[in-house]
Amino acid sequence: PGLLEGKNIVVMGVANQRSIAWGIAKSLHNQGATLIFTNRQERSHKKLLKLLDENDMEAALTVSLDVASDESITAAFQEIKEKVGVIHGLVHAVAFANREELQGEYADTSREGFLLAQEISAFSLVAVTKAAKELMTEGGSIVTQTYLGSEKVVRNYNVMGVAKASLEASVRYLAEDVGKYGIRVNAISAGPIRTLSAKGVSGFNDINATIGEKAPLRRNVDQDQVGDATMFFLSDLSRGITGEVLHVDSGYHIIG
């Protein structure tokens, strides 16, 4: 039997077949999870339905969810509660920053751009944790996606690096909050992967080439590797781990 048999898991952030969330969804499906998907845009929703069909996968439910809106978050989790009931896992794989602020100098970040990156990329985890924990009455696991730019200066990552630092600190504070309910909160820090969002980061190709050369494993990671590590966090194999940031980056973060 699969490691996630009988577990209802909500996956946020499948935009297309390149999305990290899609790699995660496939790993979860392979372990027998029952999946619920949320999308912001109708375009992503249509792509998701097509992907599910092509891969012989089924969703228990797909709901619309824009993390920029409290009403949207409340409505989405209300619908999940009514149609699915208890949930055991949540995958948070959403982030956003203005493209023009993912290049040049961090010092040029605008007030609005700073707040937007924080809102969509970090506060969103706080908001969905609050909503999801009400449905995790049998305990649960929440996993978000972060990047090395939170710990070190990665050229051009700028405002998103600061948002990811906030996201990782949120993982620790949230882990303390919900630990008493048997809910764990962890993050995967993935190496660079070519996705729709990655295209917005200036110089992405150079970063990718560097990992291939300098990382201990001498290769880049892919969505499936991130998917399997995320699956571990959602399974009972990781039952002793919370508040952790696990690097899935071919070991690149240990190299000076």
Least separation in angstroms between residue 44's CB and ligand 0WD is: 3
Q: Are 167 and 144 in contact (CB under 8 A)?
A: yes
Total length of the chain: 256
Closest to 85 measured CA to CA, from 48, 129, 34, 30: 34
Identified catalytic residue from 147, 173, 181, 252: 147
Catalytic residue among 106, 157, 181, 252: 157
Which ranges in the chain belong to alpha helices (H)? Answer: 20-30, 42-54, 70-83, 111-118, 124-133, 158-179, 204-214, 223-234
Please report how close the Cβ of residue 171 comes to ligand 0WD at its closest, in angstroms.
12
Query: Is 157 an active-site residue?
Result: yes
**111 CB burial (10 A radius; 0-12, 13-18, 19+):** exposed
> In terms of CB distance, is 86 or 103 closer to ligand 0WD?
103
- Of the pair 86, 127, the CB lying nearest ligand 0WD is at 127
Residue 138 vs 228, nearer CB to ligand 0WD: 228
Does 147 participate in catalysis according to the annotation? yes
Q: What is the DSSP letter of 16?
A: S
Q: Which C-beta is closer to ligand 0WD: that of 20 or that of 215?
A: 20
Please state the closest distance from residue 157 (CB atom) to ligand 0WD, in A: 10
| Binding residues for ligand 0WD (CB under 6 A) | 13-15, 18-21, 39-41, 44, 65-68, 93-96, 120, 145-147, 190, 192-193, 195-198
DSSP type of residue 243: S
What are the catalytic residues?
A: 147, 157
